[in-house]
Structures are given as C-alpha cells and as structure tokens.
C-alpha cells in the first residue's frame, strides 16, 4: 500500500508540473524535509533521489519558482515561457514520478516516470498552452494574467493536495485536464459552426 500511495503522490505532483514546473519540485523538497512524526517525513524518495531534499535544491527550486511565476505576468514573456515549459514540465514530471517509485529497479523507475509522470505533466501543460493561446487571441493578451493566476493557484493547490491527499489531487488534476479539453473542443465546434454560416 505504501508503494502505491507513493506512486500516486508522485503522479499527482507530476501532473501539477503542467501548471508550473518548479512549484511541485519545491513542494517535494519541502515535504521531504518536513517531519510528520519523530524521524518520519511526509514523503519518502527512492534512495538515488535524496538530493531533492538538499539545501542547494531547496534554494534553486525556490528561486526558480519565483522567477517562473513572475515571468507569466509579463506580456510576450508568458508565451515564450510556455515554449520552454512544455519540455521542462515533461522532464520534471518524469523526475518526480521516478523519485517516488521506491523499491523498483532503476530502469523500471525511469520507464514508468517517463510514461506516467512525463505523460501527466505533458497533458496538463498542453491544456495550459491552449488556455493561454485562447486568452491571447480573444483578449489580446489582457486576460493572460488571469490565466497565469489560475494556473499558479492550481499548481500550489495540486502540490499541497498531492502531499496530503494524493488520490484527490490526481482526480482534480485529471478533471482540470478533461475540462480544458472539453472547453477547447466546444470552442472549436462553435467556431466551425460560425464559419459555416
């Protein structure tokens, strides 16, 4: 049961990498450093990922998260960050999922990390790219700060829920992805219907 719960936590955190790349990595670092009870931390990492809880990792993730969040509020920079964030989210999602797969062969850790974690992060990131592009087209970029605020909020909320209640966080992340895809399909359909008129 512990292995399954750790995998769920890793997968849920990986999905939130699609909203912001460094917030979930910062959450992993904080959760592995915080003690739940005497000598027991909130989350356990695979042995070759202990560097994620180090002081340098904490500083790097904190600074990177601040710059990433601030960057999404700057016009033009936000769309440029989406270009960089897509592959970075997949890499971060892969890393986080692999880090939570304890007691596994390293090759299986990485395969599952790429498929599950990288896939979840990539799916969520694709949704945010579509949302930002739709906002840029429909509002001329004036709505992008609202989109950035919502994405950042989801990243913090998803990271918190992933550590505290992993299955709920995963369900919320998947619901957001499917909602985003549904909205995108509805808009495409409406645009196609208007074009036919």
Could you report the per-residue pLDDT of 104-156, keeping only the tens digit for each? 888 888 999 999 999 999 999 988 888 888 888 888 888 888 889 999 999 99
Question: By the 8 A CB rule, do 116 and 14 touch?
Answer: yes
Residue 23 · residue 152 · CB < 8 Å: yes
pLDDT (tens digit, 9 = 90+) per residue, 84-104? 888 999 999 999 999 998 888
Domain count, the chain: 1
The range of the structural domain enclosing residue 110 comes to 2-196
Average pLDDT of the chain is 85
Whether pLDDT at 67 is above 60:
yes
Residue 10 corresponds to which tokens in the numbers above?
Answer: 């890793």
**pLDDT of 61 above 90:** yes
For residue 83, the Cα-to-chain-centroid distance in whole angstroms is 15
Crossing angle for the helix pair 22-33 and 144-164, nearest 10 degrees? Answer: 30
3-state secondary structure of 36: strand
Residue 176 has pLDDT above 80, yes or no: no
In DSSP terms, 35 is beta-bridged to 41
Inform me whether the pLDDT recorded for 5 exceeds 60: yes
Q: What 3-state DSSP class applies to 40?
A: strand
Question: How far is 105 from 4, CA to CA, in rounded Å?
Answer: 16
Q: How far apart are CA 57 and CA 65, in angstroms?
A: 12
Kindly report the backbone phi and psi dihedral angles of residue 103, in degrees, each rounded to the nearest multiple of 5, phi listed first.
55, 40
Q: Record the tokens describing residue 44, joined without a space.
A: 């356990």
Instruction: Take residue 66 and report the two structure tokens written for it.
Output: 């601040």
**CB proximity list for 49: less than 8 A, separation 6 or greater:** 98, 99
């Amino acid at each position: 049961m512990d292995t399954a719960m750790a995998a769920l936590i890793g997968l849920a955190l990986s999905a939130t990498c699609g909203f912001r790349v460094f917030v979930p990595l910062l959450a992993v670092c904080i959760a592995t450093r915080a003690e739940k009870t005497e000598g027991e931390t909130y989350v356990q990492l695979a042995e070759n990922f202990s560097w994620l809880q180090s002081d340098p990792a904490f500083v790097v993730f904190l600074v990177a998260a601040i710059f990433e969040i601030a960057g999404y509020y700057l016009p033009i920079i936000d769309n440029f960050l989406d270009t960089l964030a897509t592959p970075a989210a997949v890499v971060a999602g892969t890393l986080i999922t692999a880090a939570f797969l304890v007691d596994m062969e390293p090759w299986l850790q990485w395969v599952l990390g790429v498929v599950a974690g990288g896939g979840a992060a990539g799916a969520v990131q694709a949704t945010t790219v579509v949302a930002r592009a739709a906002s840029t087209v429909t509002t001329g970029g004036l709505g992008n700060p609202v989109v950035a605020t919502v994405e950042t909020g989801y990243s913090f909320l998803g990271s918190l829920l992933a550590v505290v209640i992993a299955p709920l966080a995963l369900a919320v992340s998947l619901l957001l992805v499917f909602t985003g895809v549904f909205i995108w399909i509805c808009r495409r359909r409406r645009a196609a219907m208007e074009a036919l008129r």
